[in-house]
């Protein structure tokens, strides 16, 4: 059941951070690392990635066959939900750690620094595939102004690099079905579907 927050409560989470969802050193291998732009205020409030009730991330993963059961993170992900993702070889991080109401509140410098941080995370965790959710943020973070969605020509620290659509409810032209199709491609490359 979705949590309820007032605007004032959500604002109190501005600039908060959400820990990455990554396997420990003795955990399962990381096959697919999803990269959000930055946590939203609802995500920060619940300490759960892509948690806003209108975010289509988890429904798209389920529709694509990337996860095997529904995950409702809007009130906070359960330990079993986290374990399910990790067992499947799925991790989640963000380009920028601080929470904002909208991604357009981030500076170009924050996104560039986030690209460097992501590179270090990929070097350390060694996923098979990295999928960045958001073409505009990807272009800013990596200075690739003409990048297109899909498989990128260059790998990132040995991982296949993909750019997929952002699942935010603010990205109105995407649907659960179109996101599922887009997310299935890097998942297929990672051996998950």
Please check whether residue 111 lies inside any domain of the structure.
Answer: yes
The CATH number of whichever domain residue 21 belongs to comes to: 3.40.470.10
Q: Is residue 84 part of a domain?
A: yes
Examine residue 104 and state whether it is found in any structural domain, yes or no.
Answer: yes
> Is residue 69 scored above 90 in pLDDT?
yes
- On whether residue 4 sits in a domain, the answer given is no
Enter the DSSP assignment of 39. Answer: -
167 in any annotated domain: yes
pTM, full prediction: 0.96
Q: What whole-number distance in Å separates Cα of residue 166 and Cα of residue 134? A: 5
Q: Does residue 162 lie within any of the structural domains?
A: yes
Give the model confidence (pLDDT) of 1-60 as tens digits: 567 899 999 999 999 999 999 998 888 999 999 999 999 999 999 999 999 999 999 999
Instruction: Give the pLDDT confidence score for residue 2 in this predicted structure.
Output: 64
Q: Is residue 85 in a domain? A: yes
Nearest to 162 by CA among 184, 143, 145: 184
pLDDT tens, residue by residue, 147-179: 999 999 999 999 999 999 999 887 878 999 999
What's the number of domains the chain is made of?
1
Q: Which domain holds residue 124?
A: 15-189
Can you tell me the mean pLDDT for 125-142? 97
Place of tokens 């943020």: 137
Does any domain span residue 135? yes
């Amino acid at each position: 059941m979705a949590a309820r927050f007032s605007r004032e409560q959500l604002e109190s989470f501005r600039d908060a951070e959400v820990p990455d969802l990554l396997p420990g050193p003795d955990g399962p291998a990381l096959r697919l690392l999803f990269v959000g732009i930055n946590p939203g205020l609802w995500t920060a409030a619940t300490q759960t990635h892509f948690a806003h009730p209108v975010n289509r991330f988890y429904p798209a993963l389920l529709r694509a066959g990337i996860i095997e059961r529904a995950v409702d993170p809007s009130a906070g992900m359960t330990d079993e939900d986290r374990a399910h993702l990790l067992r499947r070889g799925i991790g989640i991080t963000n380009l920028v750690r601080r929470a904002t109401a909208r991604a357009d509140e981030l500076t170009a410098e924050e996104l560039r620094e986030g690209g460097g941080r992501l590179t270090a995370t990929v070097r350390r965790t060694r996923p098979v595939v990295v999928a960045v959710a958001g073409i505009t943020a990807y272009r800013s973070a990596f200075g690739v102004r003409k990048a297109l969605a899909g498989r990128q020509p260059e790998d990132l620290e040995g991982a296949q690099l993909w750019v997929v659509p952002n699942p935010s409810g603010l990205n109105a032209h995407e649907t659960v079905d179109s996101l599922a199709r887009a997310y299935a491609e890097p998942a297929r490359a990672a051996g998950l579907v």
